[in-house]
């Protein structure tokens, strides 16, 4: 049971961070379907930081540097979406899809190049971080507390305050609801949308490094992040683009994802002799079922996905 709670919280943390990223982008008026790709590049940045930080690095410094590298990588990759969707008014769905396709290939090429440069016989796309990962985990009475859980909770609180209690957040949401009205009172819609996309890159990149360190001590970048970016979008929609509801949705989906890791530890589940692949598919099946019943009542920001034209009214 402890293991189930542990995995539920860490997977929920991943989904929460990435879904909040999508929430900021869509509240600004930009659909970020490239969250999957942003996660991959964020994971790459964080993994490389863990690989090259000296052995014996202070735990606090390790966490700070790894998070910073993941954030910067995610934000840098999200610039592709911002330039194409905001400045060039390209189709946001196509740009996000292209980012997802590109990310895994790009990360694989970078990792293989690094590995070959260090050892010509090593052509794998794997980065090991077994020792560095220990800095993120504290054992409390048999429960492995991951510092990423606390970071996710703090960012959830920060997101709520920013969106609903600050001038910046209210202006951001105005740009996603009625950008022409926002512009008429002096709000720079382009800048606000850039901010929303960059914040989504920040949170998505951080979610990527949390995901790859959730249960393993190395990561093969050819496999990407197994559709977690899309699952996070489902969490965002189910959570109605509201941070508190997104958190509850993340816990629900995180629970079903955690079952695939620990179902053998429950006698009644093991007795059912259900193939492990079914448990692996469960969060995605649940997302389809949930969205089928709730999407009719979903209320997305009115101007999301619509390129802003300053001359139109």
Which residue, chain included where needed, has tokens 């002096």?
Answer: 186
For 64-93, what is the mean pLDDT? 97
DSSP characters over 234-295: HHHHHTTT-HHHHHHHHHHHHHHHHHHHHGGGSHHHHHTT--HHHHHHHHHHHHHHHHHHHG
**Measured distance CA(74)–CA(39) in Å, rounded:** 7
For 215-244, what is the mean pLDDT? 92
Residues belonging to the chain = 313
176 within domain boundaries? yes
* Contact (CB, 8 A) for 149 and 9: yes
pLDDT value of position 177: 95
72 within domain boundaries? yes
* Contact (CB, 8 A) for 99 and 84: no
254 within domain boundaries? no
For 262-288, what is the mean pLDDT? 75
pLDDT averaged over every residue in the chain: 92
| 235: nearest Cα among 164, 283, 277 | 283
124 within domain boundaries? yes
For 177-199, what is the mean pLDDT? 96
For 167-192, what is the mean pLDDT? 96
**Measured distance CA(205)–CA(198) in Å, rounded:** 10
Q: What total of structural domains would you count in the chain?
A: 1
pLDDT value of position 65: 96
| pLDDT(290) > 90 | no
| pLDDT(312) > 80 | no
Burial label, 10 (beta-carbon count in 10 A; 0-12, 13-18, 19+):
buried
119 within domain boundaries? yes
* Contact (CB, 8 A) for 214 and 261: no
Least confident of 31-40, 149-158, 262-271: 262-271
Per-residue model confidence as pLDDT tens digits over 200-210: 999 999 999 99
Give the confidence band of 265 by pLDDT, cuts at 50, 70, 90: low
Give the range of the structural domain holding residue 186, as residue numbers without chain letter: 2-226
pLDDT value of position 282: 85
pLDDT value of position 35: 97
In sequence order, the β-bridge partners of residue 126 are 220
| pLDDT(268) > 80 | no
| pLDDT(214) > 80 | yes
**Measured distance CA(272)–CA(194) in Å, rounded:** 50
pLDDT value of position 183: 94
296 within domain boundaries? no
For 125-152, what is the mean pLDDT? 89
| pLDDT(7) > 80 | yes
92 within domain boundaries? yes
Percent of the chain with pLDDT strictly greater than 90: 74
| pLDDT(27) > 90 | yes
140 within domain boundaries? yes
**Measured distance CA(30)–CA(164) in Å, rounded:** 19
């Amino acid at each position: 049971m402890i293991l189930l709670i542990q995995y539920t919280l860490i997977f929920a943390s991943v989904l929460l961070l990435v879904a909040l990223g999508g929430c900021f982008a869509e509240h600004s008026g930009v659909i970020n379907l490239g969250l999957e790709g942003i996660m991959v590049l964020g994971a790459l940045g964080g993994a490389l930081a863990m690989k090259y930080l000296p052995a014996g690095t202070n735990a606090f410094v390790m966490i700070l540097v790894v998070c910073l590298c993941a954030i910067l990588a995610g934000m840098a990759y999200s610039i592709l979406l911002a330039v194409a969707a905001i400045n060039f008014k390209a189709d946001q769905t196509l740009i996000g899809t292209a980012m997802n396709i590109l990310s895994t290939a790009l990360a694989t090429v970078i990792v293989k190049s690094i590995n070959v440069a260090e050892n010509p016989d090593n052509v794998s796309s794997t980065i090991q971080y077994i020792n560095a990962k220990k800095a993120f985990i504290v054992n409390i009475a048999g429960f492995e507390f991951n510092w990423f859980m606390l970071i996710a909770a703090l960012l959830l609180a920060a997101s709520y305050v920013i969106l609903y209690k600050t001038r910046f957040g209210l202006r951001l949401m105005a740009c996603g609801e009625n950008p022409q009205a926002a512009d008429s009172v002096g709000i720079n819609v382009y800048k606000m949308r850039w901010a929303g996309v960059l914040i989504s890159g920040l949170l998505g990149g951080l979610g990527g490094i949390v995901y790859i360190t959730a249960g393993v001590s190395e990561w093969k970048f050819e496999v990407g992040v197994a559709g977690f970016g899309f699952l996070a979008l489902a969490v965002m929609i189910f959570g109605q683009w509201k941070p508190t509801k997104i958190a509850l949705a993340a816990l629900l989906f995180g629970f079903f994802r955690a079952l695939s890791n620990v179902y053998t530890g429950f006698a009644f589940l093991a007795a059912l002799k259900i193939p492990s692949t079914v448990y692996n598919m469960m969060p995605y099946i649940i997302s389809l079922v949930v969205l089928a019943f709730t999407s009719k009542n979903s209320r997305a920001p009115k101007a999301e996905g619509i390129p802003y034209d300053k001359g139109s009214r």
